[in-house]
Amino acid sequence: MPSAKPHSPSLFSELDIHHFKNGTLYNLYEKLGSHLTSWQGEKGAYFSVWAPNAESVSVIGSFNQWDPKANPMVFREDQSGIWEIFIPGVVKGDLYKYYIKSKANGIVTVKGDPLSFLWETPPKSASIVWHLDYTWLDKEWIDNKEKNNCLNCPWNIYEVHLGSWQRKKEEANRFLTYREIAPLLANYVKEMGFSHVEFLPVMEHPYYGSWGYQCLGYFAPTSRYGTPQDFMFLIDYLHRNGIGVILDWVPSHFATDGHGLGLFDGTHLYEHADPRQGYHPDWGSYIFNYGRYEVKEFLISSARFWIEKYHADALRIDAVASMLYLDYSRKPGEWIPNKYGGNENLEAIAFLRTLSETLYQEFPGIQLIAEESTAYPLVTRPVYAGGLGFGFKWNMGWMHDTLFYFSLDPIYRKYHQNRLTFSAWYAFQENFILSLSHDEVVYGKGSLLRKMPGDNWQKFANLRALFSYMYFFPGHKLLFMGGEFGQWDEWYHEKSLDWHLASEGFHKQLQSMVKYLNFLYKSEKALHANNFSPNGFYWIDFSDYEKSIISFIRKSPDEKDHILCVFNFTPVPRLNYLVGAPFAGFWKAIFNSDAPEYGGSGLGLTKGEMASPLVWQGQPYSLSLTLPPLACIAFKKTHEDKLEN
């Protein structure tokens, strides 16, 4: 049986402890947790854990028959609250937990390691001694990270849940491993033209049905699909195929399972003690105490960890609104105001600002993305300007209004055209991502295709129009897996997507259109490089609500290219419909969602149109167009053409 040396080594220097106690030690994963090492000629593992209110702590594991008396830890005498020990003979793959006797009435807790790099596959709950050695091959991507991930680069994101993108049906419907999914996902995403993959949380989580949003392993990818090195291989493979990786990260709340962070040392260490501050009524989870230095360090270290050790390009931070507001989803009397009497969570706001400043300064070329569902101001503006410092924010208002509009029978759309156009008035207040995410296709909401009204043909035509509107409207793009080929069933995490549909009729044609839009979006600067500037967008007309027709211009930063987008949201074709145009000459047709190859009727197909000198809709010229039913058509005019005409 391994036994502790009488005087164990430490990975903490005096300077580390100084920073730790001041809340500025953001590489905790190099200090706390378990680390394979050698001491005095013997190989083993160093363990350290923060448990300031413990009377005693010992490491129990597969190497000592889980005996609490075998390996008692040493409490540092520097008021850091850290316990540590070196245990010779411990090897990679050994299981362990911490046996903690609290000063609080002698409460005993048995906990997994908050800094563990790997956990047993749930429902098992032990931490696993592991290392993070890996030979990365993505140097070309990393060297160009700032170029690949800049604000005005084309971000068209494919959102993926690893456990249900594909499964091995012939093998008891098992998960694909990280290494199995790597070439399949990379090849598909590359062929479809998406720029980035966003993974629903991969951090270890006890309950698979939470999709990872109730996690405990803030430094460990879930072992359901493999080891840390296997997950590194997946990211490496995507990078080597020119695909960026976004990881969903959840600092807003954590699972209450007994082996986790809650009541860690018999006291409310990571969470607030008062349930009005520390318990989330919607999700039955604990809320982090953002005012505590060590908790702030834990979370910032976690974010930093995924960027440094796993080469993540971006973190999408979940449920930011629940962090910003003390009364989020609470009735009067169920929350505690801040020191000024308001409902803003000042400590969480300070944490988010520190997080963004720290990460952007240290890792040029990364992005932070906020899932923030309110009108909280300046989410994507710099901290020095009073903002939260995020790079992007999901446009939840656009999503809700747009899906509401498209779910209407076209006969009623004329009464609600403002729901479709309203988002243009605030489109440039933040750096928005237009998201059609997993949240919109679960819990009885139905798939995107089933939301669409009409018969089978009209459902697909409406969905093509919806995707067209998303790709041409200002803002970066996000689409959840299965939407690109018109999955009929709403998403269910226990089964694979219905991939057989992607080879059939309208589904295959829809997928073909999304592929074309992806490459068009990435190739046309007018569609992505000005997404966050009002100079890149202006209306031609949004007032023809009787016919449910809108039109607008997208233009490139250098104003060389102008793209005219015209939408008909009724099943009635419009012949000889006049649309204003800013320039004379030939406007080249670049897209028609009603094209036969996309499953459309083929109306309005043309190589382009000549503008006539008829003043219309406030423009000096106009185009006479055939507008196909439930469709979008788009035309391009270049600066060179303007000079010639």
Question: What residues contact 30, with CB distance under 8 A and at least 6 apart?
Answer: 11
Evaluate whether 180 touches 496 at the Cβ level (below 8 Å): no
Q: Is the peptide bond before 573 cis (omega within 30 degrees of 0)?
A: no
E strand map for 253-335: 279-280, 285-286, 314-317
DSSP letters of 564-610? EEEEE-SSS-EEEEEEEESS-EEEEEEEETT-GGGT---TT--SEEE
Dihedral sign for Cα atoms in the order 469, 470, 476, 477: negative
CA distance 67 to 79: 27
DSSP letters of 236-247? HHHHHTT-EEEE
- What is the H or E stretch that residue 643 is in? helix 639-644
Burial class of residue 327 in the structure, from the number of CB atoms within 10 Å of its CB (0-12 exposed, 13-18 middle, 19+ buried): middle
DSSP letters of 253-265? -B---TTSSTTTT
CB count within 10 Å of CB 353 equals 18
E strand map for 106-165: 108-111, 127-128, 156-160
Q: Quickly tell me which residue has 């104003």 as its tokens.
A: 559
Evaluate whether 432 touches 476 at the Cβ level (below 8 Å): yes
**Structure tokens, 50:** 């923060």
| Residue positions counted in the chain | 645
CA distance 560 to 562: 7
CA distance 6 to 493: 50
**Structure tokens, 467:** 């995707």
- Per the rule left: phi > 0, alpha: psi between -120 and 50, beta: everything else, 587 is beta
Q: What phi and psi values does residue 583 have, to the nearest 5 degrees?
A: -135, 155
**Structure tokens, 641:** 């053409």
Mark 588-614 as b/e (b = at least 16 C-beta within 10 Å): bbbbbbbbeebbbbebbeeeebebeee
CA proximity to 548, closest of 434, 419, 396, 403: 419
The single-letter code of the amino acid at 493 is: H
Residue numbers annotated as active site: 318, 371
Question: What residues contact 403, with CB distance under 8 A and at least 6 apart?
Answer: 436, 440, 451
Question: What residues contact 546, with CB distance under 8 A and at least 6 apart?
Answer: 414
- What is the H or E stretch that residue 315 is in? strand 314-317
CA distance 622 to 169: 55
CA distance 559 to 157: 26
Question: What residues contact 43, with CB distance under 8 A and at least 6 apart?
Answer: 36, 37, 88, 89, 91
Bridge partners, residue 159, by sequence: 198, 480
SS3 518: helix
CA distance 394 to 572: 33
Evaluate whether 370 touches 393 at the Cβ level (below 8 Å): yes
